Structure 1
Amino acid sequence: MAGSSSYRTPNETLITLRENRALSQQELAEELNRLATTSHGAQLTLTKKSVYRWECGETTFPKRFYQQLLAEYFGVPIAELGFKRPHLAPATAPAITALAGADEPTSPSPEVEREQQRWRETRAALGTTRRALAITAEGLYPDFRLPGLHNTGVIAHQSWIPQSPVSIQDITLTLASDTPPPEITGGEAETADVRPWSTPGHRYRRYHDVIRDLTPPKLFENRLCFRLTHLEWTTPEIGMHFGHMGFFDSMDTNEALAHETALRHLMRDHNDELSTMKPSWRRLPFRTLIGDPFDLSRRPLMGAVGTLTIRGGESPSVVLHQRDGNKVAGGGGMTHLLPAGIFQPSSVLPAAIAADFSLWRNIQRELAEELLGHDEYDGSGHPIAYNDLEPFATLDRALDAGDIQIWCLGVTLDALTLCGDILTAAVIAPDLYDHLFADAVNTNSEGTVPARALPFEENTLRYLREEGRLSPGAAAALHLAWNHRHVLFA
C-alpha cells in the first residue's frame, strides 16, 4: 500500500539489509526475480523502482509474496524487514477507491480508449512544441517579460532578479518543515480536461498518474524536493526560503499547465504541421485558477538549479545539453543548461537532507552525473561522503581556492509550465576545467552533450537565439551572464 503523505519515513532496516550485501537496488530486484522463479515458479518483473518505493517509504507494506521473498533472501523473519502494517481503512474506503478509478483492472471501453489516445496525441505534440508554446504562454504575462528576453518563453518578477550576480556563498538558505501546504494541488475540477478517463466515467486522480500509466519516461519517481516559498535579494542578508514537496506535486501542476496550453493553443495547418495560436486566456481554467504565478502560497514551486558552466580564461566557452524527450518528463527536445537538476537531496535520510540543502552540493552532484557520467544520486542509500569522494573533494578545494566561482543570476519561470529556474553561473579556471572534464561523457541519462564547447561571445548567443531551440532557462542564463560578464570574469 502506497503512503499518501509527502513526508515519508524511509525503511532504514531494508536499506541496511541491502547495503550489507553490497547490492544496488537494481541488483536486489534481479535477485528477487530470480528467487521467485527458482523457488516458487513465479515470473516477476520487479525493478529498481520497486525497491526504491519500499526503501523510501512510498510503499509502506508491499504484497505478502514480496515480503516473503525478501525474508527468504536476507534470512530474516518478515517482521524484521522494517515494513509497517497499515491501519485498517474505514468502512467507506472501498467507495472512495472506486471513485479514484486509476488502478481498477477493467477492460478499457471505446470511450476510455478515445480519451486516452487524445491525451497521448496532445502529450506527444507538447513534446515537440515546448519552446513555441512557452513563447505563446509568455504572451499571457506581458507585465512580467524581461528586457532582452522577449519571445524566449521566460517570465520573472522584477524582485526575483538581483541587480548584480550574487555569490552563492553570500546566500542564506532556510528550510522550514512546517510550511503550510499550497492551496492548489492539481486535483481540482479545473484540471479535468487534462486527466482522461481511467475507467468509464472516472478520471485519473492526478496528472502524474496519467503519465505513469500511458507514457512513462525512463526516469519517473516521486522524490523528495525542496519547494521555494520566498526569496529576497534586497536585504543585507540575502536569503532563499524553502519547504518540502514531492516531484509528482510538480507534475500535477506544471505539466498539467503545459498540457492544457497545448490542448488549447496548438493546431494543424493544411500541411498537417503543428502551429501555435495567439495567446488567449479563454478555455484555460487551470491557469486562470492559479492566477498570479509569483504567489508561492498558491502552488508548489519546485526550483531547478540550472548552471551555465563556463571555462574561464582569455577565451571563455560554455557547454549546453540536448535533452531527450524520451528520457525526461519535462523539457525534452530543447537545448538546456549543463548541468541542471531539481533542487533535492541525494537521499531521503535526515542527515542527507541537511547536508544537501545547499545550491553548491546540488551543482556538484549534477556536474558529476551529467558531465562525468556518474550513476544518479537518486534519493536512496546513505548520505554522500563529499570530503572523501571525487570529484566532490577536488571541487570543494577549488571553490575554497577561488579556482571556481559560483554566481546566482536570479530566479525565472518557464511561462509554459511555471516551473522555476534558480539560475547560476560557474566560472572555472581553464586548467582546472580541462583536468576535471578530460573524460566528459557524450551522452547521459537525460540526453546528449555536444562534443564541442561554444565560445562565450555575442555571436554565439545570437546564433543560439536564432536557432530557436534554447529552453527558457538557458536563454535567461546566457542573457544575464553576458550582461554581467564583467562581474563574472573580474
Structure 2
Amino acid sequence: MTFSQSAWRNVRRYLNTHRSELSRAAGALYPIEFHVPGTALLMPPEWSAPAPVEIERVRLRWTGGAEMQAPLVDGSELEARQILPLYSPSRSFERYTQAIRYIDSPSLFENRPSYRLTGVEWGPDGDGELSFGLATYFDKLDVSEALGHEFAARSTEGLANWARLPLRRLVSDPFDLDLRAVVPAITTLLVRVRSSGEATFLLHWRDPDKVATAGGLYDAIPAGEFQPSAIAGDPAGSDFDLWRNIVRELNEELLGAPEYDGSGSRPLDYERWPLYRALERARRTRRVRVYCFGVGCDALTLAATIPTALVIEDEVFEEVFGEVVKTNAEGVTVTEWNGRDTSAGIPFTEQNVLQFIGNEPMAPPGAACLALVWKHRDLLFGS
C-alpha cells in the first residue's frame, strides 16, 4: 500500500512539473486542425466563434434539472481505477479526487457547485449560445486529472500512445458533451491599452502547492471555474453570467480579495457591489470591452475552458484596480520578467507573445488566449 501511494504521488508530481511539455505531447494525439495554432488547446470549428464576439452576444441557456443526462464516463470506471493507488492492502481509491485529498492535497481543494456545458452553437451572424446544467468541480477533476495522470505515467515509460491509454480511449471524442461532465473554466487575457496605442498584458504563475490544476504554469489572468457564488439559491440566477464570473475573478486575483467560492448562503448582489458597478460604467462607454472566442479543451486533461479577452483603457485600470497584488490564493502575478519591471503588464509585442506561447511553461488556455488576441488585435483594440 505504501509503495502504491508513493508511486502514484511520484507520477502526480511529475505531471505537475511537466504539464507544459505533456500537453504538447498529448496534442499530437488529435488532428492538427482542432488546435488553436501554436498551442495545445483543442477548439474544433463547431466550438469556435467565427470571429471574436462581444460577450453580451453570447447567450446562456439553462438546461439543468432532473432530466439532464448523467455522463457516460465519470472516473469510476475500471480504466480509471487502474491508475489509482491503494488505500488498504486490498482496495484502491474509487475516485481520483479521493487520492488527491488523502495523498497529495494542495491548499485549495474544495468540491463546489459548477456549471456543466451541455451545448455549443454559433450562428452565421456570430452570435453564440452556450447551454449549461449543474455539476461539481470534482466531477471535472475525476476525469480530467485522471486523464493527465494516465498520460504522464505512460510518458515516463515512453508509451504514451492510444494503445496504452485505455481511459483516454473511453473519452474518444473530446467534444462529445454526453461522454463526460464538461465543466469549463473561463480564461481571460487582460490587456491594458494606452492612449498611445501601446498595450500590455497580465500573466499569473500558478503555484503547484496551492492549486490542483495547471500548477507550475503561467496562465492568463483572470482565470477561474465557471461557478455560482453561493451554494443556495437559483443556480440559473444572477451568477449565471460569464461577465459576472470574470469580475469575481478580477476581484480575487488582482485585488487579493477572498473568493466568492460557492459556499455562502446568499448569491452576491452585483448591482450593489462597487467593483462591478465601476466596471459596468466603463463597459457602457466602451472603455472596457470583453470578447469571447469559443470553447476549447486542454489536450492533456481535456479540461474545458471558455477563452476570452478583456480590453481595458489604462486610465480605467488605474482608477479601478491601482497597483495589483503580487500574490493571491493561487499563485503570483508576474511583476518582473527578463529583468524588467512588469507590474503594469508585459509589453504586448509579437516577440513576447511568441516567447510565452512557444518557449515558456504556459497553460494551454492562456497560450490560446494570447494567440487569439494577437491574431485579432486590430479588431479587439479598435473602438
Q: Smaller-chain TM-score range?
A: over 0.9
Match of 1:132 among 13, 21, 27: 21
The within-5 A match list for 1:269-308 is 277=158, 279-308=160-189
Q: Residue type of the partner of 2:149?
A: H
What is the CA distance between 1:200 and its match in structure 2?
A: 1.7
* Structure 1 position 355 matched with structure 2 position 238: yes
* Structure 1 position 171 matched with structure 2 position 63: no
Q: Residue type of the partner of 1:375?
A: P
Task: Spell out, residue by residue over 1:375-396, the C-alpha distance to the aligned partner (whole angstroms, 9 max, x if none).
Answer: 1111122211212222111112
2:218 alignment counterpart: 335
CA distance in 2, matches of 1:467, 1:235: 36
Q: Residue type of the partner of 2:248?
A: R
| Aligned-partner SS, 2:297 | strand
Q: Is the 8 A contact 1:310 1:428 kept in 2?
A: yes
* Structure 1 position 254 matched with structure 2 position 141: no
Task: Spell out, residue by residue over 1:159-211, the C-alpha distance to the aligned partner (whole angstroms, 9 max, x if none).
Answer: 21122100111111011123211111100001122211111221111111111
Q: Residue type of the partner of 1:265?
A: S
| Aligned-partner SS, 1:355 | coil
The within-5 A match list for 1:90-109 is none
2:302 alignment counterpart: 418
2:338 alignment counterpart: none
CA RMSD between the two structures: 1.4
CA distance in 1, matches of 2:11, 2:20: 15
CA distance in 2, matches of 1:370, 1:437: 11
2:104 alignment counterpart: 215
What residue ranges of structure 1 are gaps of 5+ in the alignment? Answer: 1-111, 268-276
| Aligned-partner SS, 1:408 | strand
Structure with the largest fraction of helix: 1
Task: Spell out, residue by residue over 1:115-163, the C-alpha distance to the aligned partner (whole angstroms, 9 max, x if none).
Answer: 11110111111110011111111011125443632xx322221221122
What is the CA distance between 1:410 and its match in structure 2?
A: 1.7
| Aligned-partner SS, 1:384 | coil
Structure with the largest fraction of strand: 2
Q: Residue type of the partner of 1:260?
A: E
Aligned length: 368
Q: Residue type of the partner of 1:201?
A: S
* Structure 1 position 234 matched with structure 2 position 123: yes
* Structure 1 position 469 matched with structure 2 position 361: yes
| Aligned-partner SS, 2:293 | strand
2:327 alignment counterpart: 443
Task: Spell out, residue by residue over 1:286-324, the C-alpha distance to the aligned partner (whole angstroms, 9 max, x if none).
Answer: 001111111110011111100000102311110000000
Using the aligned pairs only, state the percent identity: 38
The within-5 A match list for 1:185-196 is 185-196=74-85
Q: Residue type of the partner of 1:441?
A: V
Q: Residue type of the partner of 2:70?
A: P
The within-5 A match list for 1:35-74 is none
Q: Is the 8 A contact 1:191 1:256 kept in 2?
A: yes
1:370 alignment counterpart: 253
2:348 alignment counterpart: 456
The within-5 A match list for 1:135-146 is 135-146=24-35
1:118 alignment counterpart: 7
Match of 2:228 among 305, 325, 345: 345
Identify which range, 232-241 or 200-209, moves more after superposition.
232-241
2:92 alignment counterpart: 203
| Aligned-partner SS, 1:478 | helix
| Aligned-partner SS, 2:163 | coil
TM-score by length of 1: 0.73
| Aligned-partner SS, 2:271 | coil
What is the CA distance between 1:279 and its match in structure 2?
A: 4.6
Match of 2:270 among 365, 378, 386: 386
1:478 alignment counterpart: 370
Q: Is the 8 A contact 2:15 2:152 kept in 1?
A: yes
Task: Spell out, residue by residue over 1:200-242, the C-alpha distance to the aligned partner (whole angstroms, 9 max, x if none).
Answer: 2211111111111101111111100001111111255520011
Q: Is the 8 A contact 2:204 2:332 kept in 1?
A: yes
CA distance in 1, matches of 2:250, 2:355: 25
What residue ranges of structure 2 are gaps of 5+ in the alignment? Answer: 336-341
Q: Residue type of the partner of 2:5?
A: Q
1:183 alignment counterpart: 72
Q: Is the 8 A contact 1:136 1:278 kept in 2?
A: no
1:3 alignment counterpart: none
Match of 2:154 among 258, 264, 268: 264
| Aligned-partner SS, 2:295 | strand
Runs of 4+ displaced beyond 4 Å:
none
2:201 alignment counterpart: 318
TM-score by length of 2: 0.93
Task: Spell out, residue by residue over 1:309-358, the C-alpha distance to the aligned partner (whole angstroms, 9 max, x if none).
Answer: 01023111100000001100000000001000000011012246511100
1:158 alignment counterpart: 45
Task: Spell out, residue by residue over 1:388-421, the C-alpha distance to the aligned partner (whole angstroms, 9 max, x if none).
Answer: 2221111121122211100001211100000111
Q: Is the 8 A contact 2:36 2:42 kept in 1?
A: no
1:106 alignment counterpart: none
CA distance in 2, matches of 1:325, 1:293: 26
Q: Residue type of the partner of 2:45?
A: Q
Task: Spell out, residue by residue over 1:238-297, the C-alpha distance to the aligned partner (whole angstroms, 9 max, x if none).
Answer: 200111111111111000000000110125xxxxxxxxx475112211001111111110
Q: Is the 8 A contact 1:352 1:384 kept in 2?
A: no
Q: Residue type of the partner of 1:436?
A: V
1:58 alignment counterpart: none
